[in-house]
Structure 1
Amino acid sequence: MPSKKRTPRLRTVDKVKPPYPLNKFPENFGYNLGREIVYLLATKSTPDLRGSDWEQIFATSINAEWKPSNVGLDDVVLGSCAWSAKSVKNKNPKTVKRVRLISGRNSPAYSFDETNLDADPNELGGLVLDIWNERVSSIREKFKHLRTVVLIKSDDLLTLAVFEFETIRYDPELFFWKWNKNNNLEGYDKEEQKHRFTWQRHGSQFTIIEEVPDDCLLIETKKPPKLEKEAVLKTLDFDKTWVTVTTRK
């Protein structure tokens, strides 16, 4: 028997398959997403897609359930898999290589009663990751598969890129931390020396910097004409009886 340590294959885990392989979105997913965007552009006065909009659109596009979560890691659920849905703006979704994902508020002061925010940056950064890791662990107790799906959107929403990755815990031993010129804490991986995290001491906002796969899904749509308000109301057979105006007693 070889001496090299091996990872055992567990029957109970291996039997639970995800809805689809990572980053291999279901058939017609891209079309369904594009269709939703066209509808949104035709009915909104401005090309504005908020986080909750993206969560609902993603859930609809894969026939999953939208379940807004306080933790923010399991907003979309399908069987044994949960997703955190993130959206970011970028001038060129076709070519962007890295994106910054706001990933909650990790407060060492609240979670660990750590009031000395001028402590050793590596110690403080470790606490920030510990908070994130605990959050991930609590969700993984309920779901066998946990992912983050990212929508990169142009300002006009006509160009979109979509990718997903496994939502994981981060080993604090693999990163080092230092303060930047804005007095925010930045985490770097020791192996590649790449910037991976940012933590803001004022507000405790935690940001993860993620690589964008070269082969991520790319969706481009035509700009639809706006639906005229009066035409929509006429189609609905709207009349004055639909509105009642009184005063509060």
Structure 2
Amino acid sequence: MENNRTPKLRTVNKSVPAFPLNEFPKDFPLLLGKEIIYLLASKGKPELEGSDWESMFAECIGAHWKPSNVGLDDVVMGNTAWGAKSVKATNPSSVKKIRLISGRNSPNYSFGERSDRKADPKLIGELVLEIWNERVSSIREKYKHLRTIILIKSNDLSEVVVFEFDTIRYDHELYNWEWNVRGNLIGINKKTNEQTFTWQPHGSQFTITENVPEKALIIKIKKPEILNKQEVLNALGFDKSWITYTKREAKRI
């Protein structure tokens, strides 16, 4: 008798990520808000650089911060790694799309292929994506789950939007490639007819356009008072003996 039923198998170990995509730990918004408030109070300026965001995110989820040259695994937690990126916007909660600088991809350096406007755009698009894909693959060899964590920040840091997405490889055949009037190569999604990639021959900068999910996390921040420098020093018990100095002696000829 023919048996078309699917056999029942024993439990297979599955690689579970640190947490489901965009389902941050319960106290994450509060912890991130506190980090930003402390930065504003201590620095006195709404300046949140990329390295600040990397370390903040790692601190807020209990992960390890390890700045990466590749920029795809700046934060690590078990089998999950994140590349962290931040962008500015006047009104973060209203942003629908963002452009992310995603490295310098040089077909000339990597493949010895001429890559100016006289070159075949389809070929150059394929090579540019191949460089990106190779970076992603090299990190995925070490981490089962690879994501990008985004911070959209207002100029005064009174509002930020946070979301993440899976960092993936791209199939160049799914995009139309052409040189635009500025001499940059653009990749247009064949299905949606939307521009997804931009690559600049001069400097080889590669950017990817991403959609902001509807349920992205929005955090609003109340501006704190700036910490008084002298009060902080007094609280630390600062003493002049903490500082020593000398003058370099001029070499005798």
Name the TM-score class by shorter chain: over 0.9
Q: How does 1:10-25 map to 2 (within 5 A)?
A: 15-25=14-24
Alignment partner of 1:207 is 2:207: yes
| Structure 2 counterpart of 1:227 | 227
The structural deviation recorded for 1:116 is: 4.2
| Structure 1 counterpart of 2:171 | 171
Q: How does 1:91-240 map to 2 (within 5 A)?
A: 91-117=90-116, 118-240=118-240
| Structure 1 counterpart of 2:41 | 42
The structural deviation recorded for 1:247 is: 1.9
Letter in 2 for 1:173: E
| Structure 2 counterpart of 1:4 | none
Corresponding residue SS for 1:94: helix
How many residue pairs align between the two structures?
240
Aligned partners of 1:113, 1:27: CA distance in 2, in Å? 49
TM-score by length of 1: 0.93
The structural deviation recorded for 1:182 is: 1.6
| Residues 70-96 of structure 1, C-alpha deviations (whole Å, 9 max, x = no match) | 111001000000000010001111110
Aligned partners of 1:170, 1:154: CA distance in 2, in Å? 30
Q: Is the 8 A contact 2:21 2:165 kept in 1?
A: yes
- Identity among equivalent positions (%) equals 60
Corresponding residue SS for 1:230: helix
TM-score by length of 2: 0.92
Residue segments in structure 1 that go unaligned for 5+ positions in a row: 2-8
Letter in 2 for 1:209: T
| Structure 2 counterpart of 1:81 | 80
Superposition CA RMSD, Å: 1.5
Letter in 1 for 2:39: L
Aligned partners of 2:159, 2:44: CA distance in 1, in Å? 18
Aligned partners of 1:82, 1:116: CA distance in 2, in Å? 32
| Residues 185-235 of structure 1, C-alpha deviations (whole Å, 9 max, x = no match) | 111100010010111111001101000001100000100000011111111
The structural deviation recorded for 1:115 is: 2.3
Alignment partner of 1:26 is 2:35: no
Aligned partners of 1:189, 1:20: CA distance in 2, in Å? 30
Aligned partners of 2:224, 2:212: CA distance in 1, in Å? 28
Letter in 2 for 1:54: W
| Structure 2 counterpart of 1:6 | none
Computing the radius of gyration over CA atoms, which structure comes out larger, 1 or 2?
2
The structural deviation recorded for 1:132 is: 0.3
Corresponding residue SS for 1:188: strand
Corresponding residue SS for 1:16: coil
Aligned partners of 1:185, 1:247: CA distance in 2, in Å? 55
Letter in 2 for 1:59: A
Q: Is the 8 A contact 2:115 2:201 kept in 1?
A: no
Change (3 A) 1:185 1:172: same
Q: Is the 8 A contact 2:81 2:143 kept in 1?
A: yes
Change (3 A) 1:64 1:116: closer
My pick for the range that moved more, 61-70 or 172-181, is 172-181
